[in-house]
Structure 1
């Protein structure tokens, strides 16, 4: 069993850092926390980790101030995150007991799946060491929910960016289906919301938006250029203020409630997902269209601005402008069970139109 000695690391500082770490565990279903351990201290590795977007840096107590001088970030002394090597059942039992007490511990690299499953059955605060993307993905998928955090060791620095992208940005895959457009109608003026993200999106990427949480349309980002307007690939002209938007963590929200700093779910035409942070939202009165589409016997609707730059997505991933959309066209949507309360999934008889 291996533990770092507390040494000169003060109780007050240890308590502060431990408290910061515990807040990491309030996370969604899929997104995990990624910590990078730089012991011994390596400034180049730490700079790369900070640029990659890790949630915290773990260093020796004497190096905490060095990291704090590089960026505004969470720095954890390794003494506040003791490491337990699983050599026997007793080590697993000790980890279980310490986690039950609210302590922050990491399971040393070399862990096996069954002991981690046992920990996950009893704790929501399981953290493991990894050194490769494959190990990180394995840890994130154990029991279909995975550990809450991984500590990437120095030998994993070359794959660190990929690990962050997989565990922090990817939100898994959603099932999109092809729906048949049944009508496109002019419906007058309404307030619509432009979601300007801090990310450059690609053709076939956007947000899922709709009148009902059970039937949402893939609205393409403004990735396409035309002779009148330049592309704005950071923007999704997402629809009317009342519409539902599918969010990270299996939640929904009204478009009107989105604000700067919020994370939104970006969905690709193949169903893969990622996160983007909102830089700003613009709500303005514009002429609107009511678009309806049907999957099987289920029909859904969405209100989108009547303009050439607003596009939904065909089943082959190509965007199609709403001004040329017509009855019979095939576009991508997501169907789901209805029933949300403050954005959270609930079991309730409900009809939305």
Structure 2
């Protein structure tokens, strides 16, 4: 039986087909079969009637370095968490076969948490705030509702980005727009998934950006619309351990950064000595990708 399974996988691979092998783990022999199939298959789907850690650990360990994607069939949140965290690396995904519909949401939230990137934010000290004139600024309207303390990482320099707060706060001037970040001028960088950046001017409907909260936790958001309009701009300069960062933002009361205590602070109220949250990146950027290269930005 093992030879038939392996022969079928090899036959399909010779025809340049993507192959998924499905193995129900009932004994040690099935575990060994899964390890063999995983060396040739593109995907390995594992079903355990009563999931135990050891078989999964053995299969993951045995297939380290192989290109196969390991998928574990699970029934609930606890089994999904076990599969995704086994041997630190975990499986590449789960196939959810829930007994209760409530488990779908719980597992989806678990996957979102695991897949999110975390950015270590620092508190920079404001060293300059001054108006600089008119420019083309970009509003990014997403398909997600952001919360208090959440926004996007934006800046003029790739080595350091400011956490620009969403328009999730009510004000006497305008109604809240929790899906929006008034991000800055067209030249500025914005963080996107995979620790990549784009120029704000490049964004368009359907693109992905990262929303980041005051703790540095991120989520992927889809761009629904981008608005570019001429507006008065404000230069904001911050310093952290000798590194000077600058960005430009619209000069308006409703535009906010995030302070050291995680609260939004308007650029209109910003003054020298205030602490605001930034993300420092030691890498240079080449077409938005982080690379190890010496670069000067000023």
Same fold per TM (> 0.5)? Answer: yes
- Greater mean alpha carbon deviation, residues 212-221 or residues 158-167: 158-167
Per the alignment, residue 136 of structure 1 pairs with 80
- The number of aligned residues is 282
Q: Is the 8 A contact 2:44 2:68 kept in 1?
A: no
Per the alignment, residue 155 of structure 1 pairs with 99
Please state how far the C-alpha of 1:215 moved relative to its aligned partner: 0.8
**Is 1:319 matched up with 2:260?**
no
Please state how far the C-alpha of 1:97 moved relative to its aligned partner: 4.1
In 2: Cα distance, 1:148 partner to 1:94 partner? 19
Per the alignment, residue 276 of structure 1 pairs with 221
CA distance 1:135–1:181, change in 2 (3 Å):
farther
Q: Pairwise CA RMSD of aligned residues? A: 2.8
Q: Is the 8 A contact 2:155 2:161 kept in 1?
A: yes
Q: How does 1:87-236 map to 2 (within 5 A)?
A: 87=26, 90-109=29-48, 110=51, 111-142=55-86, 145-155=89-99, 157-168=101-112, 170-236=115-181
Deviations 1:90-122 (A, max 9, x none): 544533443443443311242533422332431
Q: Is the 8 A contact 1:213 1:246 kept in 2?
A: no
**Is 1:246 matched up with 2:191?**
yes
Please state how far the C-alpha of 1:331 moved relative to its aligned partner: 0.7
Deviations 1:46-75 (A, max 9, x none): xxxxxxxxxxxxxxxxxxxxxxxxxxxxxx
In 1: Cα distance, 2:296 partner to 2:89 partner? 31
CA distance 1:144–1:274, change in 2 (3 Å):
farther
Please state how far the C-alpha of 1:352 moved relative to its aligned partner: 2.3
Query: SS at the partner of 2:105?
Result: helix
Deviations 1:150-174 (A, max 9, x none): 1011236422212212324651422
Q: Is the 8 A contact 1:124 1:148 kept in 2?
A: no
Please state how far the C-alpha of 1:89 moved relative to its aligned partner: 5.8
Unmatched runs of 5 consecutive residues or more in structure 2? 6-16
Please state how far the C-alpha of 1:246 moved relative to its aligned partner: 1.4
Structure-1-length-normalised TM-score: 0.72
Query: SS at the partner of 1:195?
Result: strand
Q: Is the 8 A contact 1:195 1:278 kept in 2?
A: yes
CA distance 1:268–1:157, change in 2 (3 Å):
same
Deviations 1:109-141 (A, max 9, x none): 425334223324312422112233343334334
Structure-2-length-normalised TM-score: 0.85
More helix by share: 1
